[in-house]
Structure 1
Amino acid sequence: MKQVQLITSHLYSEFADRIKYSNSIYILTSFVMKSGVTLLAPLLREAADRGAEIHICTGDYLFITQPDALDLLESINPNIEIRLFKSNGKSFHPKAYLFQAKEENGSYIIGSSNLSRSALTTGTEWSIALSEQVDPEVFREALTEFQKTFLHANTIPLNKETLKEYREQYDKYHQKNPNLVRQWSAAEEEGMMLPERPKEETGEKIAEAVAPYQTISPRPSQVEALNMLQNTLDEGYDKAMVVMATGLGKTYLAGFFAQNFKRVLFIAHREEILYQAKRSFLHIMPDKTAGIYNGKSKEGETDFVFASIYTLGMQRHLEVFESDSFDLIVVDEFHHAAAQTYQKALDYFKPKFLLGITATPDRMDGKDVYAICAGNVAYQIHFIEAIQNQWLAPFHYYGVYDDTDYKQITWLGNRYDEEELLAVQLKDEMAEKVFNAWSKHKQTRTIAFCSSIRQANFLSSYFATRGVKTVSLNSKTVEMSRGDAIRKLADRQLDIIFTVDLFNEGVDIPSVDTLLFVRPTESLSVFTQQVGRGLRLHEDKNYCNIIDLIGNYRNADIKMQLFNTQPSGEKRPGTVIPTAPAGCVIDFDLEAVNLLKELQRIKQPRKEKLREAYFELKRELGRRPTYKEMHLQGNAPSQEIRQEFKTYVGFLYWMDELSEFEKQAFLKHEDWLIEVEKTGMNKSYKMVLLKYMLSRGVDRWLDPVTPEEAARYFHCYLTEKNFRKIIDFSDKGTKQLWEFNEKKVSRLIATMPMTKWSGSSNGMLTFKENTFKVNTAISEESKLFLYNWTYEITEYRLKDYFAKKENKRLLVN
């Protein structure tokens, strides 16, 4: 096989040769046609059957990709991972095919060929095939870039649910545009190609070395967190998460905690975080060895391994390590789109402990970290609490009214149309508005966050004409390095740096005392990270000024959640502007206050939010989520389901997610489901008893039960994990039960769950003559449904109960 090869026809034969010897196959194509999938299906099936890792990413641009082609792809082999890139109308035109073998060199083919029969056989196409030997560095870069696209925020997993949704969108688009793009037959695919559009600018990040702290002693917040993590270990947890405000040293905390373990795997989604973490760990433990495992470096034999999820997400790299290679795994905060790949790695490894770290204070943005850590929060500190402890600098927040009408700008699902947004932003009157707000509230050193490189360049040029020392710093900046810009800002040779997303994570510029936001806020997580850039303590500043232009854009009010530390259930109805904590200022233009109130008034109703969160998770899982999954991974508080619908099954009924048989079973047994859902739980005992009954199986779970029969299971469940034992078996009357005593445990069961539950259930449950019984008749056709629903509620309530009790105990401590 040649190292460099020009291919102008019959690409299929080249694919066939490479697929046969490949252990990893990665396909990135702008669209797929049924004819092309039919051609490659036998080859892909054979490769998947022998265990090859196959990732395929295609797009929905102009809805050219055929639903039938996706259906066929999805049916080849369940181990083939397929993701669909949601282009939102933006050009998506990659055509790249990468092949790797364990023993041989890899190769890749890049050219004009999409996945259609004509492109792979007789069509006029040009492609270049290159061997890994030509330039190993470029080959590794191609693999990494593939993974970044495959796990991009705009991609969704292909499954029955997402395919059904795509088919509906496809049909709707073609009905509206019958002459633009039509249903092509295999013959009509011949020569069909769309013109390329100019490459879009991106906010690519640039790594920069960060100086380590001067001491290696834990800070006060880290001491608190380490103590709580140690308690978590002592109580038998094997996973937990820590939520710490930006600036408190999450990475160093992980390093201090890692001193308890021999080998550590640190996983992150950005290269600079890996290198920063490596420096931090070695600063704490200079006698240890540390290595980077990413597209360029494969240092996997060290004490500490810092791995990119984009590399670790490939099966061949996972299998470099034994499943028990690491005692501790640390997962840095990661993007929602990458959750499945994180789970793939975490399912593979069997560490003694899993630690998730994040700065995000809101469950909505941190849900994936919550899920992989089973909802167990070992330590949490809001950035306002850190300010009150004098661990971070106070802030003065200024909400400046922006009269731009964002309703006229097209919303593309997760962002505004860039060209339409720029048409508003790149105007002198808008730049003057930004300049005036900055001039009024600025201090000495400013970082300004923009929505695009073009906006950053425009504002930088405008400010420069007004005598301001400024630079637009982004991936395309050539006149000044990132390091130089940071140093010049610190030395006051620059007044302001305009950027897009360069300073979201992993960068410390403690002297920054002003933040300027001139972009619509689309993510609370990103806003949180950006605010954190200005809150580092520094001798030259007393507080940080936050200047925020607020218009009627989507999610404008979501940022206010960052400044409100009250639990959701304690927030006063109608409250829009949070109260400023001691030492801080929150000041809004009157027009901005009125705007936020109006946005809250017309906010999406709670039921519709729950519906949206449910279907988002269903698309991700490819099936109906369980109650527990909705609790851990859903993008909405699970308690709102009970508040609105009494039961999770009632919620499914409202959304028409139940079959006709399920609907009949639900209506007949709704009272029982409500009873299981709402019965009080000062202890976990009721649900533990019900869990035992369910353990007897579908046919026997409703059989009467005695305290003696349940005693052994009841005791084992509450003592097998230290945290359960401490929470529910540590008071004066139950601590004696740490050692099993059937008579005493049986007496407890009879007194607590059986007697108390039967007394509060209005006859639905009874406890007579030492026998506990559920008084409901179930038909044969309802039996399995009711068993599964009861099981889901029980699992959810136990998970929710222990998480709340543990968090409450942490707060008290």
Structure 2
Amino acid sequence: MPDIKLITENLVDELIPGIERASGIYIMTSFVMKSGVQILSPYLKAAAERGADIKILCGDYLFITQPDGLRELVNIDTRIEARLWHSRGASFHPKAYLMDYDHGAGLLIVGSSNLSRSAFRLGVEWNLAMNAEAEPYTFQVALDKFMNNFYDECTVTLHQETILLYEKEYLIQRQKSPVLVRTITEIEESELMLPHKETEANDHGEIQPIAHIVEPRPAQKQALDALDKTVEEQYDKAMVVMATGLGKTYLAAFFAQRYRRVLFVAHREEILHQAQRSFQTVMPERNVGLYNGIEKDVSADNVFASIYTLGMKNHREQFAPDAFDLIVVDEFHHAAAKTYQSILNYFRPLFLLGITATPDRMDGKDVFALCGGNVAFQLHFLEAIKRQWLCPFRYYGVYDETDYTAISWIGSRYDEEELLAAQLRDEMAETIFNAWKQHKQTRTIAFCSSIRQANFLTSYFIQQGIPCLSLHSRTTEMSRSEAINKLTRGSMEVIFTVDLFNEGVDIPAVDTLLFVRPTESLTIFTQQIGRGLRLHMGKAYCTIIDLIGNYRNADIKLNLFAMDSAEAEKGKQPKIIPEVPIGCELHIDLNVINLLEELSRKKQPRKDKLRTAYFNLKHELGRRPTYLELHLQGREPSREYWQEFRSYANFLSWAEELDVKETEIFLRYEHWLKEVESTVMSKSYKMTVLLYMLERSAAEWLRPISPLEVAPFFHHYYIEKEFRKRIDFSDAESTKLWNYDENKVAKLVATMPMTKWSGSSKGLITFENGFFTLNFEVLPEDMAMLHAWTKEICMYRLHTHFERRGNTEFR
């Protein structure tokens, strides 16, 4: 075909040959009809079977997409990844078909055709098709933009659970509006994804490269020591939790010095550029390269890759699975978790390091799950303030009289139009301005909910004679670096922004933070707090001005500043006004205190909270989570399920998640399941013996065992991993057994786990005549399910027993 071709009919005749040839198939369309899916289904199925990477993004805009069309789509092949864009009333109207043929070849079709039979065959449609060879830059940009949209926070994975939720809303909307007419005036964007070259601003406001750092700072030195110990103990993955401003990226660079080749993965271009500069500073002798939508360096010693590019199968496979000795993962967004897993399932590094400032389970998946829960080192911003590594703060909680209960909550945020109606009022702007004027210092970043709110408040402040700027992805009158210059020099007082400074850009001179948005995400709130805590000459403290109303998370957000969080960990009710580090201050309006007390009284009961967290994870996974998945990925601590229900199976029964057969099995063997979950474990020996039994198969696991039979497995389990040996096999008795002696190991097994568990199990287990026996009958038809449930608990308990925790407070 020519380099560019206009297609006005029978688009499918162009699509099918492209699908048959492509190694990567990426479709983004606003509407999906069952008829269109049926046309492409056999060709997509064949492509999936030959290993093509297939991703399809569709939208719920105007609720035109058919639920049956979505079901047809997800049933084509489990290897096809499909997501749904929640438009929340804003226009979502793309129609794009990208076919990646490898080696610079490909096809991009953009135009008017949605995924429907009419658009493919019958309707009046105009589409332009372009060869990638003719416009390689445009094609790569299109691929990159697709991946950004595909994993946007507005999207959810399509599976039976999410389709059912969509269908309910689809039917409601159809009843409300037989004729769907809606005017969309503006598409709000919350973050700028373009790469940029600026670095930190110096004392004079000039943008300069980050100064060379040849030695780790104190916090980095402590973290490196902890990582060294983690590696020595033969953990192959771990995370470091360090507050914003303590140099996580430099820490990763220092740690990477001991590895031959490194892959650094992040979700934002500015983070990749910043990391590249940091690694060059620490290791100037090594070459570095980017692997993103624009650049494709496959040979560099240190490669800095965009998750959205490396998430595509053909790009991953540009590297051998063992190409990297170390992979560093920067904190990533919830939606991209599946793609991170695809990367980590492909690569086989010697070590995986996750770095984050805010592993907050209130916001879903995080690097905690990615790194198997192993925490090498953790340092919260409050501890860093105590050590004078970050500056102290003065927090002012200002009462916001907005009634947020009257604003619809959609997914993970408030309805944008309803929220704007409450925010874009002169009375609200006056309240914000007066609070800012009363408490502000010299340089302010104000965090807004939307571009329209940022523009509105900028206009109001300018009317009051305050030099300020609304800075976001659509700002044209001034570049970001120029705005940072002006703020740093003091010629501008306020920058109103929309999540632009959450990560990647540091302005140490900022001494005032203004929050004029409800706190929907505790992770983002913590990141934004970190923007003002960097040490800077002449800055004695950071002022935080925060409007607090009856929005979600309002009653718990102040706990982020609490030094006595250990009380909350023990189940005690945290204080409304927490104690903060010396040098910090909390000033809370009386109306705010009354509001927080009221919200605390109305707090959701713990059982209901656990149930909500469980179903959130179930909807994310599209199936019932295992006990270990609940621990690693759930939004509430897994130990709370045990505290409340004494077993995971008992919780599932209470939550009505068990079918009739499962309920019968649970009731028959409830005492056994609770015993496995509740038996005291100062060491892991009991679960290791049980694991040996379970490993023999679902049919054989109940057969009695002797200490001599289990001895080789038992010994190997503790000797093969240094961390297991250190934690459970290093006392005076077990140290003597490091060199395997079958009889001595068997004696230990008999004395410790077998005899002790037999004595404490209330008859469920016996150890008599040299045999360890589970002393209860299991019906043949129950065997497989009870085996699976028992193994879930066993793996959970072993994992949590050996899970590594850092040496400072984990928040």
Give TM-score, length-normalised by structure 1. 0.95
Q: Is the 8 A contact 1:93 1:196 kept in 2?
A: no
Greater mean alpha carbon deviation, residues 221-230 or residues 757-766 = 757-766
- Using the alignment, how far apart are the partners of 2:539 and 2:682 within structure 1? 49
Q: Deviations over 1:298-343 (max 9, x none)?
A: 0121000000000001111001000000000000000010000000
CA deviation profile, 1:106-139 (whole Å, cap 9, x unmatched): 1211111111101101101111112224432222
Secondary structure of 2:587 counterpart: strand
Q: CA deviation at 1:597?
A: 1.6
| 1:48–1:79 contact (8 Å) kept in structure 2 | yes
> 2:203 is matched with which residue?
none
Q: Does residue 643 of structure 1 match 2:643?
A: yes
**Preserved CA contact (<8 Å) 2:685 2:753:** yes
Conservation of the 8 A alpha-carbon contact between 1:471 and 1:498:
yes
Q: In the TM superposition, what are the counterparts of 1:495-644 in structure 2 within 5 Å?
A: 495-565=493-563, 566-567=565-566, 568-570=568-570, 572-573=572-573, 575-644=575-644
Identity %: 57
Alignment of 1:618-697 (within 5 A): 618-697=618-697
Q: Distance in 2 between matches of 1:477 and 1:559?
A: 31
Judged with a 3 Å threshold, the aligned counterparts in structure 2 of structure 1 residues 664 and 758 are, in CA distance, closer, same or farther, namely same
**Out of 187, 192, 203, which is 1:200 matched to?**
187
The answer on 1:787 being equivalent to 2:784 is no
Give the aligned residue type for 1:263: R
Question: 1:361, CA displacement in angstroms?
Answer: 4.6
Task: After TM superposition, list the pairs within 5 Å mapping 1:244-263 onto structure 2.
Answer: 244-263=242-261
CA distance in 1, matches of 2:719, 2:99: 50
Give the secondary structure class of the aligned counterpart of 1:391.
coil
**2:460 and 2:713 mapped to 1: Cα distance?**
72
Q: Work out the CA distance in 1 between the residues paired with 2:455 and 2:182.
A: 28
The residue aligned with 1:170 is 170
User: In the alignment, which of 184, 198, 202 is matched to residue 209 of structure 1?
Assistant: 198
Note if 1:48 corresponds to 2:48.
yes
Deviation at 1:744, TM superposition (A): 2.0
Instruction: Give 1:37 deviation, angstroms.
Output: 1.1
Q: Tell me, yes or no, if the aligned pair for 1:378 and 1:810 is still in contact at 8 Å.
A: no
Paired amino acid for 1:489? L
Shift of 1:289: 0.3
Specify the SS of the correspondent of 1:367. coil
| CA–CA distance in structure 1, aligned partners of residues 735 and 808 of structure 2 | 20
Partner of 1:473: 471
1:67 Cα deviation from its structure 2 partner:
2.1
What secondary structure is seen at the aligned counterpart in 1 of 2:26?
Answer: strand
Q: After superposition, give the CA deviation of every residue in 1:504-551 in whole Å (9 maximum; x if it has no partner).
A: 111111111111111111111111111001000011111111110101
Give the Å deviation of 1:363.
Answer: 3.5
2:276 is the counterpart of 1:278: yes
Q: Is the 8 A contact 2:104 2:132 kept in 1?
A: no
Counterpart for residue 187 of structure 1: none
1:387 is aligned to 385
Mapped partners of 1:97, 1:811: distance in 2: 49
User: Are residue 225 (structure 1) and residue 223 (structure 2) matched?
Assistant: yes
SS in 2 for 1:280: helix
3-state secondary structure, aligned to 2:554? coil
Assess if the C-alpha contact under 8 Å between 1:524 and 1:558 holds in 2.
no
* The 10-residue stretch of structure 1 (12-21 or 327-336) with the greater mean CA deviation from structure 2: 12-21
The answer to which of 651-660 and 221-230 deviates more is: 651-660
* CA positional deviation for 1:809: 6.7
SS in 1 for 2:72: helix
- C-alpha displacement of 1:258: 0.3
Q: Distance in 1 between matches of 2:16 and 2:99?
A: 11
Give the C-alpha shift of residue 604 in structure 1.
Answer: 2.2
Alpha-carbon distance in structure 2 between the residues aligned to 1:394 and 1:636: 30
CA contact (8 A) 2:242 2:381 kept: yes
Aligned counterparts, 1:393-542, within 5 A:
393-542=391-540
Q: Alpha carbons of 1:280 and 1:250: their partners in 2 closer, same or farther (altered >3 Å)? A: same
Q: SS state of the match for residue 110, structure 2? A: strand
Distance 1:243 1:393, change over 3 A: same
What is the aligned partner in structure 1 of residue 360 from structure 2?
Answer: 362
Q: Which amino acid aligns with 2:97?
A: Y
- 3-state SS of paired residue (1:502): coil
For residues 552 and 276 of structure 2, the distance between their equivalents in structure 1, rounded to whole angstroms, comes to 38
Cα distance in 1 for residues equivalent to 2:373 and 2:15: 45
Equivalent residue letter for 2:274: Q
Other-structure match for 2:285: 287
SS at match of 2:358: coil
Asked whether the equivalents of residues 359 and 368 of structure 2 are also in contact (C-alpha less than 8 Å), the reply is no
Cα distance, 1:361–1:46 mapped onto 2, change above 3 Å: closer
Give the count of matched residue pairs. 797
1:208 Cα deviation after fit: 4.8
Residue type matched to 1:179 in 2?
Answer: P
Tell me the equivalent position of 1:144.
144
* Partner residue, 1:179: 178
Alpha-carbon shift at residue 49 of structure 1 (Å)? 2.3
1:65 is aligned to 2:54: no
1:199/1:496 CA distance change after superposition, 3 Å? closer
Q: How far is 1:32 from its partner?
A: 1.0
Q: Do the aligned partners of residues 140 and 619 (structure 1) sit closer, same or farther apart at CA in structure 2, a change above 3 Å counting?
A: same
Q: Which moved more, 1:780-789 or 1:675-684?
A: 780-789
Moved more, 650-659 or 525-534: 650-659
Structure 1 stretches of at least 4 aligned residues deviating more than 6 Å after TM superposition = 808-812
- Whether 2:19 is the aligned partner of 1:19: answer yes
Distance in 2 separating the partners of 1:290 and 1:388: 36
Identify the residue that residue 312 of structure 2 maps to in structure 1.
Answer: 314
CA-to-aligned-CA distance 1:195-250 (integer Å, 9 cap, x gap): 77344131332635213134221010000000010001000011000000000000
Structure 1 counterpart of 2:778: 778
Farther-moved stretch of structure 1 (683-692 vs 65-74): 65-74
* Structure 1 residue 427 displacement after superposition: 1.6
The answer on whether the counterparts of 2:378 and 2:806 sit within 8 Å (CA) in structure 1 is no
6-15 vs 464-473, which deviates more? Answer: 464-473
Distance 1:622 1:418 in 2: 27
CA contact under 8 A between 1:511 and 1:538: conserved in structure 2? yes
Give the Cα–Cα distance (whole angstroms) in 2 for the partners of residues 46 and 547 of structure 1. 57
Distance 1:811 1:423 in 2: 41
Mapped contact 1:208–1:482 kept (Cα < 8 A):
no
In structure 2, the CA distance between the partners of 1:809 and 1:752, relative to structure 1 (3 Å rule), is farther
Give the RMSD, CA atoms, in angstroms. 1.8
Contact 2:394 / 2:542 at 8 angstroms: preserved in 1?
A: yes
Query: Unpaired segments of 5 or more residues in structure 1?
Result: 182-193
- Pair 366,561 (structure 1): closer, same or farther in 2 beyond 3 Å: farther
Q: C-alpha separation between the residues in 1 aligned to 2:341 and 2:691?
A: 27
How far apart, CA to CA, are the structure 1 residues paired with 2:266 and 2:37? 34
Q: CA deviation at 1:590?
A: 0.9
Deviations 1:65-89 (A, max 9, x none): 2222222222222211111122233
State the secondary structure of the residue aligned to 2:263: strand
Can you list the C-alpha shifts for 1:448-507, whole angstroms capped at 9, x where unaligned?
Answer: 111111211221221122222212212222222211221221111111111111111111
Could you tell me whether the CA contact under 8 Å between 2:377 and 2:807 is conserved in 1? no
How far the C-alpha of 1:367 sits from its partner, in A, is 3.5
- Equivalent position of 2:202 in the other structure: none
* CA distance in structure 1 between the partners assigned to 2:2 and 2:773 by the alignment: 76
Distance 1:173 1:719 in 2: 61
Find the aligned partners of 1:809 and 1:754 in 2 and give their Cα distance. 33
Q: CA deviation at 1:272?
A: 0.4
Deviations 1:249-297 (A, max 9, x none): 0000000000010100000000000000000000001010000000000
Counterpart secondary structure, 1:329 = strand
Structure 2 alignment gaps of length 5 or more: 200-208
Measure the CA separation in 1 of the matches of 2:125 and 2:369.
46
Aligned amino acid, residue 98 of structure 2: L
Q: Is the 8 A contact 2:380 2:809 kept in 1?
A: no
Residue range with higher mean Cα deviation, 422-431 or 512-521: 422-431
- Distance between the aligned counterparts of 1:13 and 1:55, measured in 2? 20
Seen in structure 2, the aligned counterparts of structure 1 residues 164 and 526 have a Cα distance that, compared at 3 Å, is same
Number of the residue aligned with 1:189: none
